[in-house]
Amino acid sequence: MQCALCKAKKCIKGQNCAGLTETDIENSYSTEDRRLLSAAANVESRHYMQLSRIEESAMLAKEMGCSVIGLAFCIGLANEASHIAQYFQKYFTVHSVCCKICGTDKDQLGLAKRQADQTEVMCNPAIQAKVLNDAGTELNFSVGLCIAHEMIFNRYSNAPVASLVAKDQLLAHNPLGAVYSANWRKMKLGI
């Protein structure tokens, strides 16, 4: 499948390129998935183009009937996470976990360091997930976790996860800057 390179995008008019039956498609979604889909459709249909991602996330959680929310954030975005937590606390009980939780040195798992002779604490995404699982969060949001750490966090989180922020250390957390800017697109990405 190469949808990204398709110019027609006839799926939006109802074309089924994947060759799946309606039953196949319906069976692909669990009861929990359907609750999420329903809540997402409600939020989109009622508030299309009215909400920022942060507001939309809170709205979705409300629509899902959640009362306990988890935030897994990167220490590099601690200030941002603080603002987000304060906003979420207006509506929910919020549990937030920093990526450096437990203060485990990278040596313990034999991880490469930026400076080999210095103490460098590893990011601990599995523990971020465990803490939020133990707290019984109903939805989790990640704030700027590193690429691989986000993958691990998503794998171990019991609650559904959405990314509030995608980290981009160079482009101030705007990864699409590399696509929007002709400088980056042509000269660095070579496309």
Interacting residue with other proteins among 6, 10, 15, 47 (CB under 8 A): 47
Q: Which residues, 6+ apart, have CB-to-CB distance to 138 below 8 Å? A: 61, 64, 66, 67, 68, 69, 159
C-alpha R_g of the chain: 20
Which residues in 128-147 contact other proteins (CB under 8 A)?
none
Which residues in 151-180 contact other proteins (CB under 8 A)?
176, 180
Stretch near other proteins under the rule CB under 8 A, chosen from 6-14, 48-56, 68-76, 149-157: 48-56
By CB under 8 A, is residue 62 in contact with other proteins?
yes
Interacting residue with other proteins among 15, 119, 169, 183 (CB under 8 A): 183
Cβ proximity to other proteins: between 30 and 48 the closer is: 48
User: CB 156: neighbour CB atoms within 10 A?
Assistant: 15
Task: Tell me the C-alpha distance between 133 and 123, whole Å.
Answer: 18
Cβ proximity to other proteins: between 20 and 170 the closer is: 170
User: Rounded to the nearest whole angstrom, what is the least distance from the CB of residue 72 to other proteins in the complex?
Assistant: 21
User: Rounded to the nearest whole angstrom, what is the least distance from the CB of residue 50 to other proteins in the complex?
Assistant: 5
- How far the first Cα of the chain sits from its last, in Å, is 20
By CB under 8 A, is residue 187 in contact with other proteins?
yes
Give the long-range contacts of residues 161-167, CB within 8 A, separation 24 or more: 161/72, 162/57, 162/60, 164/53, 164/54, 164/57, 164/84, 165/77, 165/80, 167/74, 167/76, 167/77
By CB under 8 A, is residue 50 in contact with other proteins?
yes
Answer for the pair 39, 58: CB distance below 8 angstroms, yes or no: no
Answer for the pair 40, 60: CB distance below 8 angstroms, yes or no: yes
Interacting residue with other proteins among 54, 68, 91, 166 (CB under 8 A): 91
Cβ proximity to other proteins: between 29 and 180 the closer is: 180
Report the interface residues with other proteins, using CB under 8 A.
Answer: 46-47, 49-51, 55, 58-59, 61-62, 91, 176, 180, 183-184, 186-188
